[in-house]
Structure 1
Amino acid sequence: MAFSVIIPARFGSTRFPGKPLADINGKPMINHVVDRAVEAGASQIIVATDDDRIAQVVSQPATVCMTAPHHQSGTERLAEVVTSCGISQQHIVVNVQGDEPFVPAENIQQVATLLASHEAPMATLSTPIKDVEEITNPNIVKVVCDVNGRALYFSRASIPFQRDAMLANFADPSKANVSHFQRHIGIYAYRAGYIQQYVDYAPSAIEQQESLEQLRALWYGDSIMVQEAVSPPPVGIDTPEDLSNLLLKDKDILHAN
């Protein structure tokens, strides 16, 4: 199965300016992301950026596609890449963020395979929630699926809402059964032609209320396939301190990359 990985990477970040260029074991963060795409077996790897500083350090076999600076989201940047690089409508594209140097290669391959085995235009991954505090944490996005693995809804709220446990003990979510909760992992596979279709949709009320772009697809009746990730997702890197703490705490991550 042939699939491409597109890596949106921007220099600007309020909490971690120049994050894709951060040094990890003598290599810029963006090139660790490229390495993960290579390990996943991507047939084409494209770094999409509007910043020359990032473009100048990208390593082979990735290529760079310079994109416009005005994009409001990574999906808009992907749409420009699909058009400018002439990627065919049915080709599978996996969006891997340029600040995810430790994303498991197995998960990249998994989400591409998931999409290839279904007719849906999008696919993504989830992971079980194990910490009860995550149930009510709005920074942890939850997903509920139907019996066939199609997403029913994504939310920052506690879904599914366990009525008996949580109404009786609303101040103590530890009474809820965490085994029923899945956290969404922000990695997506698309059929290339759908990316422009998605961008052309007007933003929906529910995506704006939840601040979750993927709800736009559900609002317009498009299916998103979801599967539990084969490898645990890495901790997010939002600040320089996050990166330093992660490398100090987990030496295996450093050696693996």
Structure 2
Amino acid sequence: MPPSIVGIIPARLQSSRLPRKMLLRESGKPLIQYAWEAASRAKSLSQVLIATDSEEIADVARGFGARVAMTGDHPSGGDRIAEVVRRECTDASLIVNVQGDEPELPPEVIDGLVSAMQSRPEIEMGTLATPINSMAVLQDTSCVKVVCTADGRALYFSRLPIPYYRDGQPEDLLHPGEETAAYQQSPWKLHLGIYAYRPEFLLAITSMPRSRLEQLESLEQLRALEAGATILVKTVSHRSVGIDTAADYAAFLERQKRLG
């Protein structure tokens, strides 16, 4: 039997900007269920778990059919997932961290990340990004940006707009509503909240203390970069912004209404 590829959704109850967001259900079902359903449809994942220290989240998740792994309290999603991997995923070849507040990430995008990691076995960690063609997204500090090498390795992640356009205005390089133009031309990339790890690397990186840059930006992926690891960034055309604020959730609800 081949080694398994496990999808894990880390979930905590409290959130500083949008309290109890995983359980918000004005759309008719809890926010976390959307991520679980997408991950469950991904062809590359052998199984999908929700990892949480909240009995309330666990009860809701079991209610819609999810398998739940209870954990202790952790400072980051990666640390929470590592506890589950040590205990329950000893035969896994790849661990995929699917964010519970990314409800619109299609399953085929998850499969694409897994495929990219399988084609580059020397790389410890992978993630996704999509071109930015909106000033609102570019300037929003809850939307994380990433800059990469020509062959797709992450150089840095930041909440600020990077790279800085010194000799012009960002508007000159953005093409709102023009997906093809933005995909080809925008110098800015929006990081999408999904990670794939080699299990041994995940266990190693989560055993290290939080790094200086990680603490300053509050971005756990910077710990890996500071430690000298390589993060593969696959660029996709799909746009998906995490639900971090009440405005984000309101916009998500509007999109769901339009879908019928």
Displacement of 1:245: 4.0
- Taking a change above 3 Å as real, the CA distance of residues 92 and 238 of structure 1, as seen in their structure-2 partners, is same
**1:172-187 mapped onto 2 (5 Å cutoff):** 172-175=169-172, 179-187=186-194
Tell me the CA shift for residue 53 of structure 1: 1.4
Deviations 1:53-106 (A, max 9, x none): 11122247631111002x111111011000110433x61111112223322212
Mapping of residues 203-242 of structure 1, within 5 Å: 203-233=210-240, 235-239=241-245, 242=248
Shift of 1:134: 4.1
Cα distance, 1:149–1:245 mapped onto 2, change above 3 Å: closer
Call closer, same or farther: CA 1:250–1:45 in 2, change over 3 Å.
Answer: closer
TM-score normalized with structure 2 length: 0.83
Asked whether the equivalents of residues 162 and 176 of structure 1 are also in contact (C-alpha less than 8 Å), the reply is no
Question: Are 2:206 and 1:199 aligned?
Answer: yes
Aligned identity (percent) is 42
Counterpart CA distance in 1 for 2:251 and 2:218 is 28
Q: Which moved more, 1:212-221 or 1:55-64?
A: 55-64
- Secondary structure of 2:114 counterpart: helix
Alignment gaps of 5+ in structure 2: 175-184
1:204 Cα offset (Å): 2.3
How far off its partner does 1:146 sit? 1.3
Residues in 1 aligned to 2:160 and 2:32: alpha-carbon distance in whole angstroms: 32
**d(CA) in 2 for partners of 1:242, 1:202:** 31
SS at match of 1:57: helix
1:116-157 deviations in whole A, cap 9, x for unaligned? 111211101111111245444433322111121111122233
**CA distance in 1: counterparts of 2:215 and 2:247, whole angstroms:** 30
Of 77-86 and 154-163, more deviation after overlay is shown by 154-163
Residue of 118, 126, 129 corresponding to 1:126 = 129
Contact 1:8 1:95 (C-alpha < 8 Å) held by counterparts: yes
Separation (CA, whole Å) in 1 of partners of 2:156 and 2:17: 30
Counterpart amino acid of residue 203 in structure 2: Q
- Structure-2 change in CA distance of 1:32 and 1:142 (3 Å): closer
* Paired residue total: 245
Q: Distance in 1 between matches of 2:221 and 2:50?
A: 22
Q: Matched residues in 1 for 2:9 and 2:21: separation?
A: 14
2:80 to 67, 77, 80: 77
Gaps of 5+ in 1: 166-171
The 2-side partners of 1:204 and 1:15 are apart by: 23
Structure-2 change in CA distance of 1:46 and 1:143 (3 Å): same
Superposed CA offset, 1:158-197 (max 9, x none) = 32233333xxxxxx54345672111211211111121111
* Aligned counterparts of 1:136 and 1:29: Cα–Cα separation in 2: 25
CA apart distance, 1:4: 1.1
Provide, for residues 224-253 of structure 1, a one-character-per-residue CA deviation record: whole Å limited to 9, x for no partner: 0001124221x4323456434432344355
Q: Map 1:3-82 onto structure 2 (within 5 A).
A: 3-23=5-25, 25-41=27-43, 42-59=45-62, 62-69=66-73, 71-82=74-85
3-state DSSP class of the match of 1:217?
helix
| Partner Cα separation in structure 1 for residue 23 and residue 5 of structure 2 | 26
